[in-house]
Amino acid sequence: MSERLRRRAVLAGIGTYLPEKIVSNAEMAERVDTSDEWITERTGIRQRHFAGRHETCAFMGTEAARGALATAGIVPENVGAIILATSTPDQAFPSTAVHVQGMLGAKNAFGFDISAACSGFIYGLGIAEAMLRAGQANHILVIGSEVYSRILNFADRGTCVLFGDGAGAVLLSARDVAEDGPGILSTHLHSDGTLTDILYVDGAVGQPDKPGHLVMNGREVFRHAVTLLASAVNEALAANDLTAKDIDWLVPHQANRRIIDGVGRKLGLPQERVVVTVDQHANTSAASIPLALAQAINDGRIKPGQLVLLEALGGGLTWGSALLRM
């Protein structure tokens, strides 16, 4: 008797874009009252990329998407949907996803943006996975693209040193696979709307004043992050009848090395199985997970068949996880 197959969202391609301009901690220290030592010790960040004028959210998202399509061997006409996670869109509308659609020539797709701050990529995976399994599309681009340098308050040293710009994209394809075959095994999404005041942007195009700046109570976010991320990881493990030992790689949102290490310790995951790029990219919000995932796939650490757990937390608060077999 042939084995029963199930429809899954399989990661078929991945691409990234990082702005040309790299800004070191020492260069940040020329601009604000900080030091390389403080930033490195408290966050693990050593440098970040800052976008030039032409490197908009749509431009970077398109470049990352081109990479995802090329590695998947899929032409733009075959993309059914484009889901783009960002807090720094080119315009309030049309969505940045639709701009990306136009630049790619993905004429048979529909596109929309999602707003879930640093958890945006995980939210995008959750939505795309459900749509692929429901048969609403066969190939979906999920993109995280951010230009936080445009919303940073360079008079606030407590936040401006923490973020960077960049984009990452994956192409998810619906495939009928065996139980132990590849694909997204679970996604879990959460938010807590009583915590909107600890990480936010103090303005928007819908506000009477003006587009604003990022504001954060770092200590409060930190306190919630380790607990909520560890519980998100445990939730994913329990839902899949797994323990931390079964996970080949944890690819966390890259906000702060101390948060990443704290979650790893809580779960008993050795550092060698945790992908860290916060030192090179700083916190790129919705782009941080695909940027880290791409690096570990491209350098050969993440291999076909392995179990990879993604987790993120951000403004909202929003948080969640996605478990996938490569």
Q: What pairs with residue 190 in β-bridges?
A: 319
Q: Given 49, 139, 213, 253, which residue is catalytic? A: 253
The question of whether 281 is a catalytic residue gets the answer no
If one asks whether residue 212 binds ligand UT7 (CB under 6 A), the answer comes out as no
Rounded CA-CA distance 46/29 in Å is: 12
State which of positions 268-287 bind ligand UT7 (CB under 6 A): 283
If one asks whether residue 112 binds ligand UT7 (CB under 6 A), the answer comes out as no
The residue range among 10-18, 105-113, 157-165, 241-249 that interacts with ligand UT7, by the rule CB under 6 A, is 157-165
If one asks whether residue 291 binds ligand UT7 (CB under 6 A), the answer comes out as no
Q: Which residue of 27, 38, 115, 175 would you call a contact of ligand UT7, by CB under 6 A?
A: 38
Smallest distance from ligand UT7 to CB 176, Å: 36
Rounded CA-CA distance 266/231 in Å is: 10
Q: Which residue of 16, 56, 86, 256 would you call a contact of ligand UT7, by CB under 6 A?
A: 256
The question of whether 139 is a catalytic residue gets the answer no
Query: For residue 236, which phi and psi values (nearest 5 degrees)?
Result: -65, -40
The question of whether 118 is a catalytic residue gets the answer yes
The residue with its CB nearest to ligand UT7 is 218
Nearer residue to ligand UT7 within complex by CB, 32 or 242: 32
If one asks whether residue 262 binds ligand UT7 (CB under 6 A), the answer comes out as no
**Structure token digits, residue 200:** 């936010």
If one asks whether residue 321 binds ligand UT7 (CB under 6 A), the answer comes out as no
The one-letter amino acid code at 66 reads R
Nearest to 111 by CA among 131, 82, 87: 82
Size of site (CB under 6 A) for ligand UT7: 20
Rounded CA-CA distance 85/72 in Å is: 20
Contact code string over 39-58 relative to ligand UT7, x by CB under 6 A: ---xx---------------
Residue 273's alpha-carbon distances to 42, 187, 276, in angstroms, are 22, 20, 10
Smallest distance from ligand UT7 to CB 283, Å: 5
Residue 287's alpha-carbon distances to 143, 165, 202, 207, in angstroms, are 8, 8, 21, 26
The residue range among 67-75, 153-161, 178-186, 260-268 that interacts with ligand UT7, by the rule CB under 6 A, is 153-161
Nearer residue to ligand UT7 within complex by CB, 255 or 267: 255
If one asks whether residue 222 binds ligand UT7 (CB under 6 A), the answer comes out as yes
Burial 81-104 (b: 16+ CB within 10 A, else e): bbbbbbbbbbeeebbbbbbbbebb
CB 171, CB 104: distance < 8 Å: no
State which of positions 67-106 bind ligand UT7 (CB under 6 A): none
If one asks whether residue 161 binds ligand UT7 (CB under 6 A), the answer comes out as yes
Q: Which residue of 66, 103, 158, 202 would you call a contact of ligand UT7, by CB under 6 A?
A: 158
Q: Given 49, 99, 118, 256, which residue is catalytic? A: 118
Strands of the 139-147 sheet, one edge to the other: 6-17, 165-177, 139-147, 81-85, 110-114
Rounded CA-CA distance 324/180 in Å is: 11
Burial 190-199 (b: 16+ CB within 10 A, else e): bbeeebeebb
Rounded CA-CA distance 64/124 in Å is: 15
Catalytic residue positions? 118, 253, 283
Residue numbers at the binding site for ligand UT7 (CB under 6 A): 34, 38, 42-43, 118, 157-158, 161, 199, 218-219, 221-222, 225, 255-256, 259, 283, 313-314
